[in-house]
Structure 1
């Protein structure tokens, strides 16, 4: 099935970059991202640079706070959403991209908003499917040293400077995670989600891996090495659901979502919800 044209097309998108909320031309690009400058090591023997870092870090706290506030405001009307991860390198004419579109469409038709990283590849595919289903199509982009602009199927989009702020938004507004085939970024999000659920930092919600063949090797290694050596419990693998079809993705989300409200703390408990 051929992909329809996206609803918008920015002819300048290929040579522009967002630094946080700021859009710049290639000649104005900075050599370091905001995250890199925040995490940059400073020689403790360099008194001048240490003093400069202390001053800058104090102001960075305000920038980080403002990014959280902007994210909370932008996402305040999002009801039930599912966050979808996957490779930015997935080609639009690939079977994997078509599957991503179908997953996004199935989630949208089931009444879920779809949140992605807002970039190309699998992220664009899921946003495309959600948009075509008439659901909220949300993209949370990140400032990178190489270009990643919001894909044209995003209806609600934000550009973040800090990975940890962006990751909070991925979790806070989601009732489930879906991982399409992907690389390091997808694995990062997958294992962070697993850790949050396993340590009960979030109420248990489904983590769905799409593609039995793609994920089989990783799951075998977790079972044969991590479980076998006692580094994780065998039941930790039960936190993952592996499927191949879009309708099975929705079924896995539904199965956990039905029980989820009763698991959440209430105001009567005197505790805070996520």
Structure 2
């Protein structure tokens, strides 16, 4: 899909307007009407009365300030569960506010340790580019490796590039190919946004974090907590061992059913992945028209 100019040539002689990036197009929707967000209301502070330093401070005011300061020193926010709830809510509110107007998007996962000369890096970049050209935004964890490759491909394809980063003990810096960048403290908030705003999961070779995202999606689809969406593994050489174990061990002892294995597809071809995603998206779109009351859960 070629990037279109946001405005056509005007008749006033000024010529065509500069082309807007994907982030600029969707930023305009978020700022429409200059609405004040909940975060802005939360962070605003009422005007305080001015007190001249020359005026004597009352003993009551001194005692009140001393008590407030002592309480602040001994208040550990991270150890107080009821207050932590507001921090969690804040992450949800900010995430929903930022992502509410993004186009249909695809989540791409994979190892942050993948180097730029690794074939999986090039494959992730190509897959993201094809999906972006087909009309999809790309959502990743916002870090290096496969995530960086996918965000780079999204920008090359002319569509929105989104990163949902997570705070870790070893700092994971955001990659430089992001139109929208969000930072999260809680994995479960981040994963909820991946599921809510993605029309498919593409899983490239990765470690524990990648496996977490993979089986989170499979569990939600299997238990019908979300509507069915494609989960595609890229790289048969990497994933065949897992697929053999699922069939030969997990299915053998009946811990999953044969239909559960149908939730997973394996491919080595970015073109095939793009076609699978597009076909599934159009099919689900038709189902929603035929069955408007169809359960879609949080999606």
TM-score over 0.5 (shorter chain): yes
Tell me whether 1:57 sits opposite 2:81 in the alignment: yes
Residue in 1 that maps onto 2:254: 230
In 2, Cα distance between equivalents of 1:65 and 1:171: 17
Query: Where in structure 1 are there 5+ consecutive unaligned residues?
Result: 1-50
Structure 1, residues 225-248: CA drift from partner, whole Å, max 9, x if none?
Answer: 000000000111111111111111
Of 61, 67, 70, 2:91 maps to 67
Residue in 2 that maps onto 1:112: 136
In 2, Cα distance between equivalents of 1:105 and 1:161: 29
Give the ranges of 4+ consecutive aligned residues of structure 1 lying more than 2 Å apart after TM superposition: 51-55, 261-274
Report 1:117-266 matches (<5 A): 117-264=141-288
Residue in 1 that maps onto 2:9: none
Flag the 1:89–1:267 CA change in 2: closer, same or farther, 3 A. Answer: same
Flag the 1:118–1:53 CA change in 2: closer, same or farther, 3 A. Answer: closer
Flag the 1:272–1:251 CA change in 2: closer, same or farther, 3 A. Answer: closer
Equivalent pair of 1:91/1:121 in contact (CA under 8 Å):
yes
The structure carrying a bigger strand percent of its residues is 1
1:254 Cα offset (Å): 1.6
Structure 1, residues 156-188: CA drift from partner, whole Å, max 9, x if none?
Answer: 110001111100110100110000111111111
Equivalent pair of 2:226/2:296 in contact (CA under 8 Å):
no
Tell me whether 1:80 sits opposite 2:104 in the alignment: yes
Structure 1, residues 62-115: CA drift from partner, whole Å, max 9, x if none?
Answer: 111111000001101112000000000000111111111111111111110000
- How many residue pairs end up in the alignment? 224
Flag the 1:139–1:55 CA change in 2: closer, same or farther, 3 A. Answer: closer
In 2, Cα distance between equivalents of 1:107 and 1:98: 14
Residue in 2 that maps onto 1:93: 117
Query: Where in structure 2 are there 5+ consecutive unaligned residues?
Result: 1-74
In 1, Cα distance between equivalents of 2:241 and 2:151: 28
- Bigger Rg, which one: 2
1:272 Cα offset (Å): 7.2
In 1, Cα distance between equivalents of 2:280 and 2:294: 25
